Amino acid sequence: MDFPATPSNASDSNEYPGAVVSPFDSLQDHTKRRSSSRSIKRRRFDDELVEYSGLPGASMGKGDKRMRTLSYTTQLPEFPVVSSAPSTPVVPSQERRRSSKLSVGGSLGRKSRRKGQLSHLSTKDLGRWKPTDDLALILGVQQTNDLRIVHRGVKFSCRFTIGELQSRWYALLYNPDISRVAIAAMRNLHPDLVAAVQQQALYSTAEEQLLGTFTSTSHPAPEKFQELLEQNPHVFYSSRTAKSLMAHWQLLKQYQLLPDQTVQPLPKGTGQTENVLTFSDAEETINDSELPDFKEDGIDVEMHLADRIEKKDIRLLENSLSRWQVLVQSVAGGNVELDKNTLAVLRGRLVRYLMRSREIAVGRSTRDHTIDVDLSLEGPAVKVSRKQATIRLRNTGDFFMSSEGKRPIFVDGRPVLQGNKVKLNHNSVIEIAGLRFVFLINQDLISAIRQEAVKVTIPV
């Protein structure tokens, strides 16, 4: 006795469509029906739907169910498939058409692949070869017909080798994809860039031969070159001007390339080589007074500016002479005794600073700032402030040093911070940024100053 499967059972089951349902399963479905508690039934990741429309025996009608499979490469099930619609037999002519379509598709794929390769080749060097480089290469070859001369005379955006120039020239000639892209890029160039490249075009042999009609001893005016340009418009390039022709003729004359400047070979013979002058002999025959004096443009302006700077420096030195209150003397000449005008001496390893006023400033002199005692004369004073300290002599005959720089001053090993003062004694050791000095006091002069101060304070 057969138990036909109901549509509800077929839709709820996870079996493949068309499979035979066992009677036991159908009885269980009638007695107990499973239902999902989920509101929306979603597909699982392994339940991908694939329609096998192109495979024989898998044509689907209206009542067929979609086949569930694990992957796209899953084979058909081994058990028989029951379909409501009759399967149509495959005709050999249809197979031939299908195979012909596949072969046509394969050929199209090969053609598209080749086209992609050609487009890749055409755009491979576009980042390195600029449109201006292609234009300069084309103009150079048209003017000289020699890639070696183009490689030497044209300045490209990159340092191309002669082999790269040759391969690029062949690509522009024989590769339609590359030439089409290059021509389109050159047409989109700004007219100013095109004019700049054309102005730097190389000179052809015919152009230089026409320029060689002017001898090296002559001094042709720009009007002569304009006449030459108007008489030979078919020879000279369209961007040539009288000024550019004159500049190129001067270069040819400078490098001894004009036809009348070619060096004639010496005749063969033993007596001819003895008459050849050496460079030193020819230099002795030249009279310097006969040589023309050529003045460069702008040399007078530069000399005037240099003269003004030197006068300004001299004026600054003259103004600073009146403010110098300390004389600097070298210690290498021996010990110099204190005279009657020197109050104290700040002696270093190389120089000696004489204090001849009651107050002096110690620091580092710059171009815009002058100081009484410049410590840069003693040694490296990069860490010394422009005004590091001030030494004052009071009426009592005592010397005091006040620290005014960022870095401390060490007097007899004790630091003196910014804003503090310390008394200086005879033979006190002062250290400022690694520079050491000995402070010497003229005792005779200081004692005389103290006596005068006492006489003034005590009334007679």
pLDDT at 223: 93
| Closest among 31, 25, 18, 32 to 3, alpha carbons compared | 25
pLDDT at 331: 44
pLDDT at 97: 52
Give the residue ranges of DSSP H helices in 295-435: 299-321
Query: What CA–CA distances, in Å, run from 342 to 326, 327, 355, 452?
Result: 9, 10, 6, 17
Query: What CA–CA distances, in Å, run from 158 to 129, 191, 294?
Result: 8, 22, 39
70 and 186 share one domain: no
Least confident of 74-83, 84-93, 329-338, 418-427: 74-83
pLDDT at 383: 87
Q: Cα angle vertex 438, ends 433, 439, to 5°?
A: 110
170 and 229 share one domain: no
Give the mean model confidence (pLDDT) for residues 133-159: 93
175 and 233 share one domain: no
pLDDT at 188: 94
pLDDT at 292: 72
Q: 40-44, 124-128, 401-405: which has the highest mean pLDDT?
A: 401-405
Does residue 436 lie in a domain region? yes
Band (pLDDT 50/70/90 cuts) for residue 61 is: very low
408 and 352 share one domain: yes
379 and 439 share one domain: yes
Give the mean model confidence (pLDDT) for residues 408-412: 91
pLDDT at 268: 54
Does residue 57 lie in a domain region? yes
352 and 439 share one domain: yes
Does residue 143 lie in a domain region? yes
pLDDT at 75: 41
Does residue 130 lie in a domain region? yes
Does residue 415 lie in a domain region? yes
* Residue 202 vs residue 323, higher pLDDT: 202
- In the predicted structure, residue 2 carries a pLDDT above the cut 50: no
pTM for the full predicted model? 0.35
The per-residue pLDDT of the chain, averaged, comes to 74
d(CA 145, CA 83): 79
Q: What percent of the chain has pLDDT over 70?
A: 64
- In the predicted structure, residue 241 carries a pLDDT above the cut 70: yes
- In the predicted structure, residue 11 carries a pLDDT above the cut 70: no
pLDDT at 204: 93
| DSSP state, residue 331 | S
Q: Are 354 and 373 in contact (CB under 8 A)?
A: no
- In the predicted structure, residue 417 carries a pLDDT above the cut 60: yes
36 and 158 share one domain: no
Does residue 41 lie in a domain region? yes
191 and 219 share one domain: no
pLDDT at 178: 93
344 and 395 share one domain: yes
Does residue 141 lie in a domain region? yes
Does residue 448 lie in a domain region? yes
CATH number at residue 393: 2.60.200.20
Residues in the chain: 460
Give the mean model confidence (pLDDT) for residues 14-20: 46
For residue 437, which phi and psi values (nearest 5 degrees)?
-135, 155
Band (pLDDT 50/70/90 cuts) for residue 261 is: confident
167 and 230 share one domain: no
- In the predicted structure, residue 317 carries a pLDDT above the cut 50: yes
* CB neighbourhood size of 130 (10 A): 17
- Residues spanned by the domain of 13: 1-91
d(CA 328, CA 352): 6
Look at the chain and report how many structural domains it folds into.
4
Give the mean model confidence (pLDDT) for residues 153-176: 93
Band (pLDDT 50/70/90 cuts) for residue 337 is: low
Q: Are 261 and 253 in contact (CB under 8 A)?
A: yes
pLDDT at 81: 39
Give the mean model confidence (pLDDT) for residues 182-199: 94
153 and 211 share one domain: no
pLDDT, tens digit (0-9, with 9 covering 90-100), for 76-119: 344 343 344 444 444 445 555 554 444 445 555 555 555 555 44
363 and 386 share one domain: yes
d(CA 212, CA 234): 17
Band (pLDDT 50/70/90 cuts) for residue 245 is: very high
